Amino acid sequence: MWVIMKKLIITIAAAVVLSACSVEIPFINEKPLEKAEKNPQLAERNEQTKENYASNAPGEDDSLLALEAVYFNTIKEVNGINEIVNAANVLALVNKEFALPGTYIPDDLVRPKVPFSFGDQDIEKSYLRKEAAKALEKMFSAAEKLNIHLFAVSGYRSYDRQESIFNNEIGRVGEDKALQAVAFPGKSEHQTGLAMDISSESVQYLLVEEFEDAEEGKWLKENAHRFGYILRYPKDKEKITGYQFEPWHYRYVGEKNAQIMYKNNWTLEEFFQEVRKI
């Protein structure tokens, strides 16, 4: 009898120890949507979003890292600048190395039906290319259902408008600092009509780094890829993108590509380094 009781005591003690260890080391290797949130309400929202869009998750097949040649930049040198010939490409890699032609204007710009920080004004920056606009509407609608209120701030921006912004920034902080924060004319993603700056009332509709810690910013970072958008200039990737961290700047690349980049924590530059041309 004593032997049986001794075994029982040892078994119970072991169970208690294992339980304590599982509490001490939680959530290891879990994806962002699977980790426990300090805010239970936000955790519930993320879990609901995960269930709603789980069917869109990419598979593990490496064949996903193959891309048709048409989606790679076709470049010609114009006055010492690497200019993108196929500017309408939805995956156009626009950065400090590759520029859009000054004459490029997307021919399918529409105004997405989403809340804007500036209300109903019908102005240039309220437009996006049709495919990106539809995806933005889906993303904002999904967020709204979870009581996450997003506001679009700045979408399409013409070459001339970018030139004006860039020159103003030079006058304010000097050229070196301006180049870290504002794209040179032709080298702004906003000219593609595929990028949107997003904010929220919680940060007074401003484009500030504090948006990263806002409930809306957290939701976007963890869910935008499900709608084809990526956080274009993430933290700790400044040497790769060439730009400072911008938690508000989201770029449309299509659902499949966005999910691959999210899964691998890649920027658009890193994606093109890894994907093979077919």
Kindly name the residue from 83, 216, 222, 246 that is annotated as catalytic.
246
H-helix segments, 36-118 = 40-53
d(CA 157, CA 226): 25
Q: Which residue has the tokens 């702004």?
A: 188
CB 249 within 8 A of CB 192: no
CB 203 within 8 A of CB 210: yes
Half-sphere exposure of 141 (CA within 13 A, CB side): 10
Q: How wide is the angle at C-alpha 185 spanned by C-alphas 182 and 187, nearest 5°? A: 75
Q: Which residue has the tokens 């940060």?
A: 203
Whether residue 60 lies in the annotated active site: no
CB 156 within 8 A of CB 108: no
Q: Which residues are catalytic?
A: 246
